[in-house]
Each structure stands twice: as structure tokens, then as C-alpha cells.
Structure 1
Amino acid sequence: MRPIHAAILLIGVLLASGGYGATFLFSMHVRAIGGTDFDTGVALAGAALGTFAGVSLTGWVAQHVGAARMAALAALCVGAGVVGFALMAHASDIDALPGFLVGLGWGAFCLAAPMALAERTSDADRSLWFVRFATFQMAGVGGCPALAAFAMRFWRMPLEGVLYAIGALCLIGALTLEIFGRLARVQPAQERWLRSIGAIARTRAVYPIVIIALGGCVFSGLMTFQMSLVQGTQAKASTFFSLYTITVIATRWLLARLVVRMRAATATKVLLAMMVLGSAAMFAVPYHAGFQALAAVLLGTGYGLAYPIVQVQAIDDAAAAHRRAALTWFVAAYFIGAFGFPSLGGWVLVHSGKGALLALIAGCGLAALALAILRDRRRGGSLSASA
């Protein structure tokens, strides 16, 4: 990976990720045009549906146009969805359409961009580049709403104008990613990810795929239900969100080289253990609000750093012919955990209370840690060989 190529890629990632960060502004826009939280939910449901569609289509389309160009098209799709949402003058069920476009683009981007990076990095330096990639991605997602709030407060920009500007940045990001693909050319791989599941399941790649699904459950559980979890305490949900975002960006930027130098399996287990401790810290929030800050920092450090490391493990543990498929299943597993868990978690919260929900979240974290330990014991390339 040449430095100039890497810089172009990371700029594109930052701008495209900012488009997804705009989804945090959707509820504000819906209220401004006379809608309710239900209308916001419709838009986000469309985004969730679009995400899975984007993941499913990317592998097939990337075979024909290349992963880098697919990432560029995905960034365009995200931008089109954001602009489409800004154009909505009245809240209605049609809000699901721009939400679907954003989700379609984001699902495709979360697979195509790492795929393009994996094709252009060696096994030796892939971990470092994936941590850097994840840093810029998180900076875009978390930084966009913050910059939008700054622009509306100090520059007096209307919300619609901010959304149009974000759409324009997605366009620039798409052009940047297209330039990256043209400068760092590779031959598109031919692989059908659905048919490869059997081959992947026989290798250690199956472990990181399941681990990230469980990690997505922990992440979405603590983020989605944070307001309910801190209700009746001195803690505020906004504190958790802010500390988590800052921690993820800071640790990925400052600790990337340290984590990469560690043995990957050891780093994964340490980071997942921190994620479990972050879940456990939430049990003590009713006794002192400081435990919420501790939980945010532990989750941001543990899960935030573990994600790119586990992603690289999924790629490296698969056979060379099935690496694209392994990456596809990895991204799909993450979204299944992130979008699927809130339904189960909401049912547990309503019927059994906050303690049961936290126990379920912590259980998912412990299961992920147990799988990381099992993976480390499977020394062979396949499950059958190491049984």
C-alpha cells in the first residue's frame, strides 16, 4: 500500500462514513417537518432493510466492477439517501425510501471498502491498515453529527442545508474512492459468498465471524438501551455516547501500533475481556454515575479495537480463495447482531427488567471471549484437522 494511495482511500472513507453519521440527524429533521418518533423509526427500518440488501449485492457486483468502484458507488448511494431525506417536506411512510438508500449504500460500503483494502495489503501489514481504516470510519460516523451541530449553532446553517452539504461530501468521497481504485488497480476476484459458507465453516474463520455477531449484540444492546439503563440514576445517556465515540477514535489512533505488535490472538482476548468488563460496569451505575463513564471507556477500547483485529482474523483464517466470502459473512454477522439484538433485548427489558438485559448483554460478551479462547486452541487451519 503506497502512502499516497492510502491517503486517498482514507479520505474517501472519512467522507463516506460522515454520510452514515447523518442518520443521527434524521429524528431532528422528522420533528422539524411535523413527524413523530414513529416516522423516524420507519426511516431507520428502511435503512436496516437496505443494509442487508447492500451486503447481499456487494459480492456479486464487486466481481464485475471491482471492490473500490463498488465502494465509490456505495458512497454515492449514501449521499443520495441523505439528500433525498433533506428533500422530504412532510413526514410519511415514503421516508423509508431515503432511509433504504442510506442503508443500501452503507451496507455495501462496509463490505466493499474493507474488501478493496484487503486486496491491496499483505498478511504482514493488514492489521495496521485495518485499524487505521476503522479509525477514519469511526471519525466520520461520530464526527459528522458533531460538526453538523456546530454548523447549525455557530454558522446558523439550516438543517436541510447541512444535509445537502453532507450529501456533497459523499459525492467527493465517491470520487476519491474511484480515484483510489484507478491508481491501485487489482483484478476483481470471482467468488460466490453464499456457496462458500461450507468451506469457511471448516476453517478457524468461523470463530471471528460468530465473535463479531456477539460483539455486535453487546454494542447495540448498550447503545440502544442506554437511556433505559440509566433511568432513575444520576448518569446521562449522552455522556456514554460521547465518551464511547471519543474513546474509539483515540484508542484506534494512539494504540494501533501497540495492538498490532501484540500476538493477534492475545490482543483479541484482552480486548474482548475489556468489553465484558464494560458490560459488567453498567450493573454498578445505580450506585455511582462514574461507572457509566468506565463502561463507555472499556467498551470503546475493547470493542472498538477488537473489531478491526477480529475482521483481519476472519480474512487471514480463511483460505485465499474464500477470503472475500469470509469478509462478506463477517460484515453480515455484525449487522445481524447489531440490528437483531435490540428486538430480543427490548423483549427482555420489558418482561424481565434491566438486570436481566444487562446479564444477557454480558453473556453475549462472555460467549465471544470463550470463542476467542477456543479459536486460539485450534492450531490447525481447519476444524477437522485440529479436532
Structure 2
Amino acid sequence: MRASHAYCLFVGSFLTAAGYGATFLLTEHFRSLGGSEIETGVTLAGAMVGTLVGVPLVGWFAGRFGAARMAALGALSVCAGYLALAALQTLSPLIGAVGFLIGIGWGVFYLAAPMALSERVTDRERGFWFTRFGAFLMAGIGASPVVAGALTGGLGLSTSMAFCLVAAACVLAALLLWVFEALSPRPAATTQASNGWVRKLPGIAKTRAIYPILMVGLGACVFSGVLTFQTSLVRGTGLQASTFFAAYAMTVVASRFVLAPIVSRANGDRAALVLLSLMILGVVVAFALRYGVLVQIASAVLLGLGYGLVYSVIQTQAVNDGPPEQRSAALTWFAIAYFLGIFGFPMLGGWLIVKVGIAGFLGAVLIFALAEMGLALLRVRKVPRALPLAVSFDEPGQTVGP
């Protein structure tokens, strides 16, 4: 695969990821319509349902239609969701349906884009290309709130106008992803995603792979809680949410290029415990945001180092902890657990902010972070010997998350 072709995929992924990053504007958008964080939670709950629908769609159609084309359709669905949000003039139960469009688009893209990349590289090259893919993905998620904040704050654009710009970016992303499929044809023999992942769950649950699958769901709750409601966390402090997003994105992108090779050579169990400790510390520091921007940046850096790096560690554990015939199914369930946390927790989080306040909300986020650490410790007790961290991902269904 040519590097020039790969960058069509990378830039398209960057622009689609901006669609997820823009969800931080949801609370401000609904507040302008007389709503609150509760409406944000309802919208993202609809997105959670959408992602669960998107997973089997990729399994059914990617092999025949092309994974990159599926990713392009996912980007267009995200576009449709943001256009619908921009068109809202009053609060409506339809916000759940709008969230569904964003969710099904993100779910299809999130599985299909790395699948399209994996189909075109060798086992030896896969680590190199996926590291860069993950960096572009995280850069899109982190840069979108910064740009959107500048547009709505500095230039005075409405959140509706910002959503229209996000939708336009997703259209461009769909074009680039479609071009990638045309410029870089798939090999004649490609492995389709497994459609038997549902019936394999009982078998996976009997292996140690169930621990990292549950862990990623808990970690996604922490990630979505702190990022989705960052504007609520800094309200009244004089801080800007965009500062957190910029610091977080730069930390994750830099760490994945500089520290990821070191982490990959380390003992996976110890690495996970250290990184989860950093993530927990990042949540604890968030309780003190009122003390200024340095505290906010410290929280972002700690969360970026901890959550940003532990994702790939536990993803590898999900593969290594089960038999080879369950690898694709384990990765699919890993992605589903991630979706449940990333879009499901904001419904609880929005309710907590409105009903019990920021301190209670952060307390819940901290509990989820500690629960993930608990599972990591339990897994260590269940593993009689250290498992190798390095693994060659043969399945095209590998995901690379933020």
C-alpha cells in the first residue's frame, strides 16, 4: 500500500473523528434551547443504540461492499446526525433519533476504517500503520473541540453553525474514504469479519479475555464523562474547555509515537496497572479544577497518558487471553463494550450533574476508574504467568481507539 493512498484514509479518519469530538458542544447547544446535560445524555444514549446496530452491519457487508466504502457511509451518517441537530429549533424527543444517526455512523466507521487498513498491510507492517492511524484518530477527536470552541467563542458562531461545519467535514471525509477504496484495491483474498461473535460470548466469558473487555467499558465511561461534560466541569471557574482538549490530544498523540514502543515491550500486567493509576490520578486532580489552568492541564495530561495508552494494552490482552478461534469475536465485543461506555455513561452523567452536582458526578467517574483498576488486579491474580504483550493482529476487525 502506498503512503499517499494511506493518507486519504488517515485524513478521512481525522475528519470523521471530529464528529465524535464535536459531541462536547451538545450541552451548550441544548442549553441554548432551554435544556441541560440530561438532553446530552439522551442524545448519546441514542448514539449507543446506533453503534450496536452498526457492528453487525460491518460484519455483513464490508467483505462484499468494501470496508473503506462502509467507513465512508458511516461518515455520511454522522453528517446527517449533525445536520439534524443544527436544524433543531426546540427540544424534542427526536434527539434520541439524531443521536442514533451519529452513533450508527461512528460505529460503522470505527470498525470499518481500521478493517480497510488491516486488509492492505502485512502482519509486520500492521503495528507501524495502526500507530499512525490511531494518532490521526485521536488528533481529530481532540482538535475538533478546540476548533469548535474557537468558532463559537472567538468568532461568535452559533452551535448550529458549528454543527454544519462538522457535517461538511464528514462529507469530505466520506469522499476521501471512498477514494481510498478506489486507489488501493483490496487483495483478492480478504478475511471477512466474523458474524459468529454473538454465540461466542459464553466461551469468551470463560477465559481471561472477559476482564479487558469489561475494563474497556469502564474506561470508556471515564473518558466520555470527563470529555463530554468538560464544559460543565469548568463552568464558573474561568477556564476554557478547549484548553483541556488541546492538552489531552497533544499528550495522547505524542505518547503514542514516543512511549507506545516502550509500553509494548513492557510487561502488560504491570503496564496496565501503572497507566490506570495515572488515569485515576487524572480524575482525582479534576476535583480541583477551580484552582486554575495548571490543574486543568495536569488532569488532561494524566488522563491522556493513562487512558490514552492503556487502551491498546488491554486490547492486546483481550486477544492474547483467549484461543485463536475467538480472536475476532473478542475484538468485536471489546469494541461493543467501548461503545456502551462511551455513549451510555453520559446519560447517567448528565443526570448526576443536574441532580447531585459536579462533585457527585466526578465521584461516579472515579468509582468507574477504580472499578477498572479492580478488574486489572483481579486479572493479575487469575493469570499464573505474564502474557506477552506483542501480538500480530490477523483479523481485519481490529479497532484502534482513542
Counterpart of 1:165? 168
Is this contact kept in 1: 2:24–2:228, CA < 8 A? no
Q: Structure 1: which amino acid aligns with 2:344?
A: G
Question: 276-285 or 42-51: which moved more?
Answer: 42-51
Deviation at 1:17, TM superposition (A): 1.7
Deviation at 1:296, TM superposition (A): 1.5
- Distance in 1 (CA, whole Å) between partners of 2:89 and 2:56 is 31
Counterpart of 2:191? 187
Counterpart of 1:52? 52
Percent identity of equivalent pairs: 45
Report Cα offsets for 1:165-206 as digits up to 9, x if no partner. 324312223314423762455232443211110122233321
Question: Tell me, which stretches of 5 or more residues in structure 2 are unaligned?
Answer: 388-402
Is this contact kept in 1: 2:46–2:97, CA < 8 A? yes
Question: The residue matched to 2:185 in structure 1 has which SS?
Answer: helix
Deviation at 1:280, TM superposition (A): 2.2
Counterpart of 1:107? 107
Q: Structure 1: which amino acid aligns with 2:279?
A: M
Q: TM-score, normalised by structure 1?
A: 0.79
Is this contact kept in 2: 1:277–1:298, CA < 8 A? yes
1:232-271 paired onto structure 2 within 5 Å: 237-271=241-275
Matched, 1:81 2:112: no
- Distance in 1 (CA, whole Å) between partners of 2:193 and 2:292 is 53
- Distance in 2 (CA, whole Å) between partners of 1:348 and 1:145 is 23
- Distance in 1 (CA, whole Å) between partners of 2:126 and 2:380 is 19
- Distance in 2 (CA, whole Å) between partners of 1:14 and 1:40 is 27
Question: The residue matched to 1:271 in structure 2 has which SS?
Answer: helix
1:82-161 paired onto structure 2 within 5 Å: 82-86=82-86, 88=87, 90-91=89-90, 93=92, 94=94, 96-118=96-118, 126-147=126-147, 159=162
Q: 1:317–1:70: structure 2 CA closer, same or farther, 3 Å change rule?
A: farther
Counterpart of 2:335? 331
Deviation at 1:300, TM superposition (A): 1.1
Q: 2:310 aligns with which of 306, 309, 318?
A: 306
Is this contact kept in 1: 2:47–2:343, CA < 8 A? no
Cα RMSD (Å): 3.9
- Distance in 2 (CA, whole Å) between partners of 1:106 and 1:228 is 24
Report Cα offsets for 1:10-54 as digits up to 9, x if no partner. 2332232233334445667778xx844369646555434323322
Deviation at 1:76, TM superposition (A): 2.9
Q: TM-score, normalised by structure 2?
A: 0.76
- Distance in 1 (CA, whole Å) between partners of 2:50 and 2:357 is 31
Q: Structure 1: which amino acid aligns with 2:73?
A: L
- Distance in 2 (CA, whole Å) between partners of 1:174 and 1:257 is 28
Deviation at 1:237, TM superposition (A): 4.4
Higher relative contact order (Cα pairs below 8 Å, separated by 6+ residues): 2
Q: 1:2–1:320: structure 2 CA closer, same or farther, 3 Å change rule?
A: farther
Q: 1:37 aligns with which of 25, 35, 38?
A: 35
- Distance in 2 (CA, whole Å) between partners of 1:282 and 1:29 is 24
1:207-356 paired onto structure 2 within 5 Å: 207-226=211-230, 229=233, 237-285=241-289, 290-345=294-349, 355=359
- Distance in 2 (CA, whole Å) between partners of 1:8 and 1:355 is 43
Report Cα offsets for 1:82-101 as digits up to 9, x if no partner. 44555x37446355544422
Deviation at 1:357, TM superposition (A): 4.2
Report Cα offsets for 1:63-111 as digits up to 9, x if no partner. 554544432332232234344555x374463555444222211012222
Deviation at 1:290, TM superposition (A): 3.5
Question: The residue matched to 2:207 in structure 1 has which SS?
Answer: coil
